[in-house]
Structures are given as C-alpha cells and as structure tokens.
Amino acid sequence: MIRTTVLTALSAALAAFVTPAAAQSISGPSAREAWSFELGAGTDNRSKNASKSGNDGYVYGSAIWESENGLFYAGPGFETIQAGGSNVEAEFVVGYQPEAFGYRFDFNATYKNRPDAEAGYDEDGWEFTGNASRSIGPASARLQVQYSPDAAGSTDSFTWIEGRVGWDFTNRLNGTVAVGRREQNGAPDYTGWNAGVTYAVTDTLDLDLRYYDTDAHTFGEQYEDALVAKVAYAF
C-alpha cells in the first residue's frame, strides 16, 4: 500500500515540475537546462553493499534539474526502506560536477529524512559526497569518498571510501566491480563489494544484475550476500 501511495504521489509531483518553461528547455535544440526523471524497482535496496529494505524489494524515484552549462544540479528523490518504523526515505540533493584534466568530478550534499519513524529514532541526516571518475576507451574508473556527521538511525558519523572499475563490452552492456570500506560510530565497521552488469534495453530502460557481499555477516542479515536485480526507467 505504501509503495502504491508513494508512486502516485511522485507521478503527480513530476507532472507538476514540468512547467511550460521546463518543457521548452527540455525540447529546445541548443539549451541543456532541463529536468530529468527516473523511476525504478529492485529485489533489494542496497546502499554501500548493505540492505536498507530488510532484504525485500523496493521502489525509488527522483527528479533532477540541471543547469544550462551542465555544472549544477538539484532535486528531490525517494526510496522505500525498512528502518526504525519508517517505510520511505526522502531526500534532496544539490551538486556541482566540473571536468578537469580528463577527469569528471561530482561534489554533492544530500539531506535525507525518514518520515513516520518510531519515537526516539534519529530520522534524518546529511551526507556529503565527492566522486572523481575517468573513462579511457571502454574502460572506466571512479573513486568515491562520502562523509556524514550524523546519519539517520543508530549511526552517528561515518566515512565511506569506494573504488570502482568498469568495462563497456558493447554500446549497451557494461560491467563493473566495486570495493568499499565503511568506518562508523554507532554501527559496525565493514568492507563490502559488488560485481554486476547493466544492460540498456533501450535509451531509457536499463536492467541491472549485481552480486553484493560484506565481511560483517555476524552483525545481521542486512550485511549478508545477495544477488539483486533492478530495473530503471529514465525520461
């Protein structure tokens, strides 16, 4: 029921976002300033290789505005979770993505909130993320560093560092492998990794199949290994 309600609400919100000015921006032959949207679903909601949905399926959506020069972006999003009595995590992100020396950088700040959480549960928090990525032919690599001074739930501050490499097998099939380390207060430290492939069925529809695992199985089912399938529709 909650997922149907969330999807209905997001659809209405997306329709409201597409004003005549925004529609003109999207369809204009030269301007890049525009809104983009994404809806998706998966068999498990994995963040930093651990489950946020109790190892159950989830849905998500986002609406992102990007400036005309492509440097700045901002927008809301949501994903279904199972944490502290809350079934939804809402977020708002603001970011800056310059390019220099052949690298693409992405610096962003994200506010996250889990409505209807149980009394005494820390329902919100900030996350600050920096990415540096580069592609050479079919090969790609990315380094991500993320920090939160006070995350939602029992976790206080945390730091996440992840390295990822990828390879384009065809113009539609891409494979990636990533390894990351999370150091945190109020929850276990762990190392996690994932490997999988993404296939672009069309220019707007992607399918992803990925295997996740961590070295923290003794701390709960959310840290155990899983094979996760996901579908994403961007428009």
Residues 6 or more apart whose Cβ sits within 8 Å of residue 220: none
**Region of poorest pLDDT, from 5-9, 87-91, 200-204, 222-226:** 5-9
Q: How confident is the model at residue 186 (pLDDT cuts 50, 70, 90)?
A: confident
Identify the pLDDT of residue 32: 62
Q: Which of 231 and 11 is assigned the larger pLDDT?
A: 231
pLDDT tens, 15-36?
Answer: 433 333 333 333 333 446 799 9
Residue linked to tokens 């909601």:
45
Residues 6 or more apart whose Cβ sits within 8 Å of residue 61: 6, 7, 10, 14, 37, 38, 39, 40, 77, 78, 79
- pTM of the predicted structure, to 2 decimals: 0.83
- Name the residue type at position 9: A
